[in-house]
Amino acid sequence: MNPKYKTEQEAFWAGQFGNDYIARNQSEHLLAGNLVFFAKVLARTAGVASILEMGANIGMNLRALSPLMPSAQLHAIEINPQAAEVLRGLPFVNCIYEGSILNYSVEQQFDLVFSKGVLIHLAPEMLPEVYDKMVEASSRYVLIAEYYNPSPAEIPYRGHSNKMFKRDFAGELMDRHTNVKLIDYGFLYRRDVNWPQDDITWFLMEKR
Q: Kindly give the confidence (pLDDT) of every residue in the chain, 208 residues in length, as a single tens digit, with 9 standing for 90 and above.
A: 555 788 999 988 887 877 878 877 778 888 999 999 999 999 999 999 999 999 999 999 999 999 999 999 999 999 999 999 999 999 999 999 999 999 999 999 999 999 999 999 999 999 999 999 999 999 999 999 999 999 999 999 888 888 999 999 999 999 999 999 999 999 999 999 999 999 999 999 999 9
Q: What is the DSSP letter of 73?
A: E
Residues 6+ apart with CB under 8 A from 23: none
The values of phi and psi at residue 53, to 5°, are: -100, 125
Q: Which pLDDT value is given to residue 13?
A: 87
Nearest to residue 102, comparing CAs of 15, 11, 206?
Answer: 11
Total H helices, total E strands in the chain? 7, 9
> CA 195, 197, 203, 206 torsion: positive or negative?
negative
The reported pLDDT for the residue numbered 4 is: 77
pLDDT at 193: 94
Residues 78 and 102 sit within 8 Å (Cβ to Cβ): no
CB 139 within 8 A of CB 112: no
State the pLDDT at residue 148: 98
**DSSP letter string, 168-195:** -HHHHHHHH-TTEEEEEEEEE-TT-SSS
Look at the pTM and tell me if it is higher than 0.75: yes
Domains along the chain with CATH numbers: 8-207 (3.40.50.150)
Binning the chain into helix, strand and coil, the percentages to the nearest 5 are 35, 25, 35
pLDDT given at position 161: 87
